[in-house]
Structure 1
Amino acid sequence: MLHLRIIAPDHCAGDVVTLLREAVGVTHLIVHPGAAVEPAGDLVEADITREAVNDVLDDLLALGLTHDGAITMEPLDTVISDAAVRAEKDAPGDPDDAIIWEELTRRTREDATLSVTFVTFLTLACLLAAVGVITDSPVTVVGAMVVGPEFGPLAGIAVGFVRRRLDLARRSVYALLLGFPVAMVVTGLAAVLGEATGTVDITDVTSADQVDFIYQVGPFSLVVAILAGAAGMLSLVSAKSAALVGVFISVTTVPAAGYAVVAATLGQWRVAAESTAQLAVNMVGIVVAGVCVLAVHRLLARRRAATTPDL
């Protein structure tokens, strides 16, 4: 379940309380009249099942609470209450299958923002990938996969497409189109410096046979990207973040960028092009899988709502 905390101004406080009392899946309703100072109003609290959140949020937002009030939500790990059990039974669907669209949109918006932190993590991941290629170390390449933050913008593109939020999709594309070139340029400069000073001793990038899977594009490249993208999106919508680590290790986005940079510094342009193609295949596969997962979830939710009788 989730805990709702609402600051309701005087002109709509009664409507908020009525809405929550009548909504399916809402329980533990508490009202503190005049408790809120900034913004001023009543403090209204309630617990709500995940599968009922979207409808309740839509109704609350229709009251204009974002303009002169506030809505906050936080997950509840343990709720011991018969009323909570009844609320979950009354709400259609299963909590693990529910997508809280506002939460998902805001989370992906944060992860898809081009920031110094995002570019730094992406650059560090590319540098790790390059080191993994130079030293022929699969472990280092896996480390680069885990460090890379690129799944956030890829998920943002999928959410933006399904939700028709062009601002989110643009923000995500912007982060990728600027973040990757910066990371690759920094990695390229580091590789050139290492080669010039003798720190890097490699003349043929394909001699790193332990990590040659990075640039070898095949049918399973797209299959793995689609499967990983589906798992990643499912982990986001179900709030099971532990599965994301497996997603990061499954796809070769950042490693492909690092491999392409090292190959380019050695003048092996064919290998660099293949690595870039691997990068593109993985990103496209993740986005397509994310869109499909969200579209199926939304379709099932609509069918469930259409077949559920009014209480």
Structure 2
Amino acid sequence: MRYLEVTVPKGRRRAVLDVLDDEGIDYVVSDETSGRGFAAVVRFPLPTRAVEPVLDRLNRAGISDDTRVVVIDAETVISQEFDDLLDQHSHGGTKGSRTSRQVLRTKAEELTPAFPIYVTMLLISAVVATAGLLADSPAVVVGSMVIAPLIGPALAANVGIVTGDDGLTSTGFTYQATGLAIVVGASIGLAVLARLAGLEPAGVDIVVVAELQERVSPNVLSLAVALGAGVAGILSLTRGFSEAIVGVMIAAALIPPAAAVGITVAWGMYGAAIGAAVLVIVNVLSINFAALTTLWIAGYRPQGLFEVSPTRKPTYAYATIFGVALLVLAAPLVGVTLVEFQATQLKSAADEEVDAVLAEPEYNHLEVESTEVLLDDDYPLRSVDRVVVTVSSSDPGPMPALTDHLHEGITTHADGPVVVEVRFVVAEDREGDASEQIVHTSSGDRDS
């Protein structure tokens, strides 16, 4: 529920009161004596759904943008007229709380902090995210998402588009671009310092860190997170849900990948940096596309009938730009997804082949320990590099026949040439530990 206070210009008092009477609104009128061109002040409660259509009618009755309109939350309204009005605007029995267009703009602006505060919070978030990724700590990475103030700019830009507020649109997009640049730059600086200090938890190949690996070689499922964040962000803004919780979701789609870009650049792994950068851009496009589409479907338009058509064109233009760019940049994600699908299929086929071969009588003394399908390091578009089969045996010698047999069976399921590496793990009873001897075959040739 909302409580409105509207100043009525001179000469428009009767027109305004006629609108309120026609809507069945219970109002109070006070004379305005400041001498600033206003005749009266009208105060009245409204269901949240009724704010936008009533203000639109008042606008046509002479309440222009120069007039003061105050909209505040109301805890409780005890009035039969208000109950009737609530039923009238319940839309088939659903007494939802769709935020009015006017309040939506204000909320979007409030969620966008002052620029110095915005920069400071993002710098802190970047430092925490970089430390969390380097330490492979999910808890620390989550902490970086909580403090990142990205929900405001992400939503403000699209609220500005659908309501015809160019200033809000420009501010939203500027904040988004600047914020991500700050995160990447800060992450590069911190990662360089970490590397110079010898803080390399995974050695030279830093991307083997689990928290990094999933962000430098993203698959198409990453789109679901960003699209969901965009939709949830708008719903939180328009339906009164917790913006803080949704803000974490939006930050989750942007802060860790942006920090991953900085870390991989500092380590000189530019292929991995490209993969993370693609994920950042795709997520930005997804959030904005989902937010813009959700706002338009929800029926948000600029004020006045004659303003709808001009604003429809830029809305469609932005949606087209977002959609086309998203489709183009999503292609690498689809490629990564296909490779992962192929690796999963090859893993399943290799498991069956290994079980079938070791079931033969001459290999009764062997036991399979694991079967792994490993990808190469050509980020972001990786491919299957080799299949590693680990078996345990009491016989310390290599078994070329077994190696050839496994290679022949596994490669028939691969789409191209693939290395099949067989590792023999031999237990040594006297020491109580194990030694490892590796024999592998590649393209029909065997090396040991």
TM-score of the pair, normalised by structure 1: 0.84
Residue 3 of structure 1: how far off its partner (Å): 0.3
**Contact persistence 2:230–2:291 (CA under 8 A):** yes
Question: 2:2 maps to what in 1?
Answer: 2
Question: Separation in 2 of the partners of 1:130 and 1:184?
Answer: 10
**2:87 aligned partner:** 89
What amino acid is the match of 1:267? G
Cα distance change, pair 38–139 in 1 and its aligned pair in 2 (3 A)? farther
Aligned-pair CA distance for 1:35: 6.1
| CA distance in 2 between partners of 1:158 and 1:120 (Å) | 24
- 8 Å CA contact retained: 1:113, 1:175: no
Superposed counterparts of 1:1-311, under 5 Å: 1-23=1-23, 26-27=25-26, 29-34=27-32, 41-62=39-60, 63-67=62-66, 69-93=67-91, 94-96=94-96, 98-112=98-112, 115-198=115-198, 200-202=199-201, 203-241=204-242, 244-246=244-246, 248-249=248-249, 251-298=252-299
Match of 1:308 in 2: none
Counterpart Cα distance in 1 of 2:33 and 2:152: 38
Instruction: Report the Cα offset of residue 259 of structure 1.
Output: 1.3
Amino acid at match of 1:237: T
Equivalents in 1 of 2:69, 2:39: separation in Å? 13
CA shift for structure 1 position 102: 1.4
- The amino acid of 2:75's aligned partner reads D
Partners of 1:88 and 1:81 in 2: how far apart?
A: 11
Q: Could you list the runs of 5+ residues in structure 2 that have no partner in the other structure?
A: 301-448
Q: Between Structure 1 and Structure 2, which shows a larger proportion of strand residues?
A: 2
1:46 offset after TM fit, Å?
A: 0.3
Note the C-alpha offset of 1:280: 1.3
Quote the Cα distance in structure 1 between the aligned partners of 2:245 and 2:265: 29
Q: By how many angstroms is 1:97 displaced?
A: 5.4
Offset of 1:291 from its aligned partner?
1.8
Separation of aligned partners in 1, 2:287 and 2:110: 19
**Structure-2 change in CA distance of 1:188 and 1:210 (3 Å):** closer
* CA positional deviation for 1:150: 1.8
Q: Give 1:74 shift.
A: 0.9
User: Within 2, Cα distance between the matches of 1:84 and 1:143?
Assistant: 44
Distance (whole Å) between structure 2 residues aligned to residue 159 and residue 89 of structure 1 = 28
Residue 58 of structure 1: CA displacement? Answer: 1.7
2: distance between equivalents of 1:20 and 1:212?
60
Count of aligned pairs: 294
Bigger radius of gyration, 1 or 2?
Answer: 2
Partners in 2 of 1:204 and 1:181 — Cα distance?
A: 25
| Residue 60 of structure 1: how far off its partner (Å) | 2.8
Task: Report the Cα offset of residue 95 of structure 1.
Answer: 4.2
Write out per-residue CA displacement over residues 69-110 of structure 1, whole angstroms, 9 at most, x where no aligned residue.
310101123333333221101225244252411111232234
Counterparts in 2 of 1:194 and 1:59: CA distance versus 1, 3 Å: same
Secondary structure of the structure 1 residue equivalent to 2:241: coil
- Residues 268-277 or 78-87, more deviating: 78-87
- 1:216–1:39 Cα change, 3 Å: farther
- In 2 relative to 1, CA 282–39 (structure 1 residues): closer, same or farther, beyond 3 Å? farther
Matched residue, 2:348 = none
Asked if 2 retains the 8 angstrom alpha-carbon contact of 1:7 and 1:36, the reply is: no
Q: Which amino acid aligns with 1:263?
A: T
1:148-204 Cα offsets, whole Å, 9 max, x none, are 222222212322333344433222111122222133223322332343345x44443
Query: How far apart are 1:19 and its partner, in Å?
Result: 2.2
CA distance, structure 1, for counterparts of residue 118 and residue 13 of structure 2: 40
Match of 2:440 in 1: none
Could you tell me which amino acid in structure 1 is paired with residue 285 of structure 2? V
The normalised TM-score by structure 2 is 0.60
CA contact under 8 A between 2:130 and 2:190: conserved in structure 1? Answer: no
SS of 1:253's equivalent? Answer: helix
Report if the CA contact (8 A) 1:65-1:71 is conserved: no
Q: 2:90·2:96 contact (CA, 8 Å) conserved in 1?
A: no
Runs of 4+, deviation exceeding 4 Å: 35-41
Q: 1:283 to 1:95 in 2, by over 3 A?
A: farther
The 1:210/1:257 distance shift into structure 2, 3 A limit, reads: closer
**Residue 236 of structure 1: how far off its partner (Å):** 0.8
Moved more, 127-136 or 184-193: 184-193
How far off is 1:65 after superposition?
Answer: 4.3
Identical residues among aligned pairs (%): 22
Residues 216, 77 of structure 1: alpha-carbon distance in 2 compared, 3 angstrom cutoff: farther
- CA positional deviation for 1:287: 1.3
| Equivalent-residue separation in structure 1 for 2:240 and 2:225 (angstroms) | 22
**What is the distance in 2 between the residues matched to 1:92 and 1:222?**
35
Distance 2:239 2:33 in 1: 33
Q: Following the alignment from structure 1 to structure 2, what is the Cα–Cα distance between the partners of residues 163 and 95?
A: 24
> Residues 81 and 214 (structure 1 numbering): CA distance in 2 closer, same or farther, change over 3 Å?
farther
Aligned to 1:302: none
List per-residue Cα deviations over 1:200-248 (Å, max 9, x = no partner): 4444331321453333311111122112211221111112125x51452
Q: CA offsets per residue over residues 102-154 of structure 1, 9 Å max, x none?
A: 11123223435771112222222222111110111111111112222222222
Larger RCO: 1 or 2 (CA < 8 Å, sep 6+): 1
